[in-house]
Structure 1
């Protein structure tokens, strides 16, 4: 079929008009994506630069020793001379976070196994939404519940006033439980069914399959959930501040008061003058928190590489 000469000439012209429009849409999309990535990179580097510039000021401008702040046992910013020993706060942050992970990891792992291997239908429809709902509760609510329930219970059963490392760890364990459970559940559901079916076909029971096949295979992914939970607990401020007692010393038992990096920052930052030695020392504590966040991210990346292998 022969087309008129006018239509033959207009077809390439219409095609030429459509191509620039398509390229324009592609370039607009690329520009938008690159702009968002650039804003994110600039924001991250700006935060790191701001915290580092303030956090390094005590060591550069005021002559505070790094070893004194990292390993000092006394925190007396108003003393003569001022002493900034952050070891009690580092000990409080690590002790509460690790103890919370020790409590939450078995609970989260058992809950994820129950929701995926034992009763998957009930777990997917009822239990998992309920656990994920815990992640949306504000931290002040956890702190208030801990102050109203956990602290009086510990005060009545154990020696001490109830506030202390154990109270803070129990509150943090409840807060990080959704993180550990969700990551573990996603890892268990991503496991190929052929591994479990092959184990069952060889005569293994359900518990033998879980203990000898599923858990060793998914150990890096399960540890990723635990590390993310520790990172979440390490940076928590308000809930821990309400139940830990905020005493700037190293506790000798789980029932004694302590303090964390986040709690001392939130309690003291509003009472200092910007640019003063005390204020910059608090920024040094914030820099320690930032560095620990980088460490946790590095550990998670290393675990993810093991999963891919």
Structure 2
């Protein structure tokens, strides 16, 4: 009886600690959920005011190509900004994806162990560099280079995409490296047992098997590039029109918001339209999240 009583007494502090942990976890989760829903509600309420209060046509806003808010009858066409965001982000992913895959294959399959311990932290270090540094390097190096090699001033989609490709390279490389590292050893050993070379094993076994994870890395990179503002703003030219070449200036959703938001009065038509652009940006982020969840589901299958 005395022994069982002592055990109950010892169990009480553990039960108390467990309840404290549960309450603390619940508070953190509740705070996170409330914060997310509050942000969504705030941006959505501001963005929808453009159509509900100011009477701007949503279709005209999304498909319009003229942005001129300072005339008597203002024109709000967001298509150039949407085009600029998608073009720079997708082109950056096209540039960075092959480089990230090749770097991951080299780190996991070809480099010796000391090389992997050195190379992967160096690549991940790129993610910690401030975006203004990328923009300044692009403005000082890439823009003059493009100006000398191609027609135009050097600013435009190509310069923005190249800067973004370097910025998203650590994301794609890290996810690809982790995916290849987690590949079951039996798959590669079976391939070698059938007489396949190392290269055949890489491109016929390792890469196809880890393709859902690789695609997740690409989508995360596109999402990262889609929401970038400062680095792209410094090299893209910020002209509200659809360019006819990669070396013409254009603008993005984030650039339009950051450049104009401070010069508008809260509640004005132009201010509400900028919130509508932010709403479009947020909705596209949700789309990227759903795509990532879909790819993760395919990985589990």
When normalised by structure 2's length, the TM-score is: 0.98
Counterparts of 2:229 and 2:115, CA distance in 1: 31
**Residue 14 of structure 1 is aligned with which of 6, 21, 39?**
6
**Residue 145 of structure 1 is aligned with which of 132, 137, 142?**
137
Q: Is 1:281 the equivalent of 2:273?
A: yes
Counterparts of 2:214 and 2:7, CA distance in 1: 54
Counterparts of 2:195 and 2:7, CA distance in 1: 65
| Structure 1, unpaired ranges of 5+ | 1-7
Alignment-derived partner of residue 107 in structure 2:
115
Alignment-derived partner of residue 136 in structure 1:
128
Alignment-derived partner of residue 3 in structure 1:
none
**Residue 253 of structure 2 is aligned with which of 258, 261, 264?**
261
Alignment-derived partner of residue 175 in structure 1:
167
| Equivalence map 1:16-31=2 (5 Å) | 16-31=8-23
| Equivalence map 1:111-260=2 (5 Å) | 111-260=103-252
Asked if the contact 1:236/1:262 (under 8 Å) is kept, the reply is yes
Alignment-derived partner of residue 43 in structure 2:
51
Task: Write out per-residue CA displacement over residues 246-292 of structure 1, whole angstroms, 9 at most, x where no aligned residue.
Answer: 00000000000000000010100111111111111101000011000
Task: Write out per-residue CA displacement over residues 96-118 of structure 1, whole angstroms, 9 at most, x where no aligned residue.
Answer: 00000000000000000000011
Query: Shift of residue 74 of structure 1?
Result: 0.7
Instruction: Please provide the CA RMSD for this pair.
Output: 1.1
Alignment-derived partner of residue 76 in structure 1:
68
**Residue 272 of structure 1 is aligned with which of 258, 264, 288?**
264
Counterparts of 1:19 and 1:122, CA distance in 2: 48
Which stretch shows the higher mean deviation, 117-126 or 13-22? 13-22
Task: Write out per-residue CA displacement over residues 185-225 of structure 1, whole angstroms, 9 at most, x where no aligned residue.
Answer: 00000000110011011100011111111111111110110
Asked if the contact 1:114/1:120 (under 8 Å) is kept, the reply is no
Query: Shift of residue 11 of structure 1?
Result: 4.0
Asked if the contact 1:115/1:122 (under 8 Å) is kept, the reply is no
User: What SS does structure 2 have at the residue aligned with 1:286?
Assistant: helix
Q: Is 1:38 the equivalent of 2:24?
A: no
Alignment-derived partner of residue 95 in structure 1:
87
Alignment-derived partner of residue 5 in structure 1:
none
When normalised by structure 1's length, the TM-score is: 0.95
Counterparts of 1:197 and 1:73, CA distance in 2: 56
**Corresponding residue pairs, total:** 301
The structure that has the greater radius of gyration is 1
Query: Shift of residue 21 of structure 1?
Result: 2.5
Query: Shift of residue 15 of structure 1?
Result: 3.7
Alignment-derived partner of residue 293 in structure 1:
285
Query: Shift of residue 120 of structure 1?
Result: 4.1
User: What SS does structure 1 have at the residue aligned with 2:128?
Assistant: coil
